[in-house]
Amino acid sequence: MKKIVAIVGRPNVGKSTLFNRLAKKSKAIIEDVPGVTRDTNYAEVQWENAFFTLIDTGGFESQSTEQLSRLVHEQALLAVEEADIIIFLTDGREGLTPADLDLIHLLRRISKPTFYCINKVDGTRQEDTVLDYYQTGIDGWYPISAKHSRGVWELMDGVTKIIPEDTPSPKDDKIIKIALLGRPNVGKSSLVNRILGYDRVIVNETPGTTRDAIDTILTFNGREYTIIDTAGIRRKSRIGLSLEKYSVTESLRALRRCDIGLIIIDAEEGITEQDVKIAGQLYKSGKACLLVVNKWDLIEKDNSTPGRFVKKIKDKMKFLEFAPILFVSALSGQRVTNILGKAEDCFSQCKKRIGTSDLNQTLKEIVNGYPPSRYHGRPIKLYYLSQVDIKPPTFVFFTNSPQGIHFSYERYLANQLRATYGFEGTPLRIFFRKRTRKKP
């Protein structure tokens, strides 16, 4: 099993900069504002011949009384408990602070390999301050500059020496990556925590609490999942600070790398224009889709309420008629256990492949039941059909007149394929090509 390396320290000492340097990509948000990273952030890292999981944490604020800061502190402690190796980071420009000393005292009580680093030592001038850190009684300080990569190789030489060499495991297609998407404060993080059974991500009533896309691996009923909790996607007109723009970008990246997207809708607020736009992005990406109506326990309802809500969703999201709808409550746990099973069903439909002979037998039945209209006075013929791809299922119809196929007939073909083969929870891609005759 891969070792876990956690980067810890007080806010704004450069943890996310070091995280991105080691992960070799801009996964964590970097902003010169204390407390930008609130949740723990994970990345799979290869450094030379060593492979490990890297964790970036929210900053320790030991003396803070704010609820959100306390939650950040608890998240960082959870990462320390989870880690096999710890990298402690402090700011060489500011010197040791009481918060640094509190954290050093905490780490000394933990019997785990710990590497103590002084960040922002960008040149020989800053190296003169390193001697002050030895008053802590720690001998092996690493002066580094995460921003400029100075001293990082020396640090990682020490870290990788205690990580056994391994070969990276091949990408496992059996792991289903599920992204929770939606507007801020619709309950995405609460749903993640309810699914996992513990507080993996911060839950707070302040919209926008989750800023990064947070990955968590979960095994349920013998199946592995990666749950991706994302920052809420706001309207462009409401994205003011650059930090919010980063959060939206990270959410869209999460959308692109997931296998299935869960669009979380607030039952109290109903379907909004922004919900429709998020759904449209997911549809365009070709991912499997599940609509999850959260906070269902807060709605006054009778026997017809679910049906009316489903109709509203179908009316506003006609392009997602194939997507199943679940009514859940993250607060009470109502029907939350159904989410993973339904997500797995949708993903299996998204990677379903139908044999060519079976498809062409179905094509004959479809055309006999309702042939296409004539084009410029000539009949349109559909010769044969082939599935050329999965995720999403993609079909090519060979015809004598691709330009003559009306969009309504294309929709009819898609509906017939669904009626025959299912494909619940996944978009279909349909293309028409002109059949070319081989010369004798």
pLDDT in tens, 169-191: 444 457 899 988 888 888 888 88
CB neighbour list of residue 104: distance below 8 Å, 6 or more residues apart: 88, 116, 136, 138
The pLDDT assigned to 44 comes to: 74
The answer to whether residue 60 scores a pLDDT higher than 60 is no
C-beta of residue 349 within 8 angstroms of C-beta of residue 288: yes
Give the mean model confidence (pLDDT) for residues 276-285: 86
Least confident of 207-211, 218-222, 308-312: 207-211
DSSP character for 171? P
- 177 alpha-carbon distance from chain centroid: 7
Picking from 253, 316, 314, the residue whose alpha carbon sits closest to that of residue 285 is 253
Residue 98 class from Cβ within 10 Å (0-12 exposed, 13-18 middle, 19+ buried)?
Answer: exposed
The answer to whether residue 2 scores a pLDDT higher than 80 is no
Quickly state the pLDDT bin for 106 (edges 50, 70, 90).
Answer: confident
Quickly state the pLDDT bin for 159 (edges 50, 70, 90).
Answer: very high
The answer to whether residue 381 scores a pLDDT higher than 90 is yes
CB neighbour list of residue 258: distance below 8 Å, 6 or more residues apart: 177, 178, 179, 228, 287
Residue with token string 């509906």: 415
Strand spans (E) along 101-198:
114-119, 141-143, 176-181
Residue with the bigger pLDDT between 79 and 398: it is 398
What is the helix (H) or strand (E) element at residue 431, kind and residue range? strand 429-434
The pLDDT assigned to 277 comes to: 84
- 206/18 Cα distance (integer angstroms): 28
Picking from 186, 180, 181, 182, the residue whose alpha carbon sits closest to that of residue 269 is 186
The answer to whether residue 374 scores a pLDDT higher than 80 is yes
What percent of the chain has pLDDT above 90?
A: 46
The pLDDT assigned to 126 comes to: 67
Provide φ and ψ at 12, rounded to 5°.
Answer: 65, 30
The answer to whether residue 206 scores a pLDDT higher than 70 is no
The pLDDT assigned to 73 comes to: 59
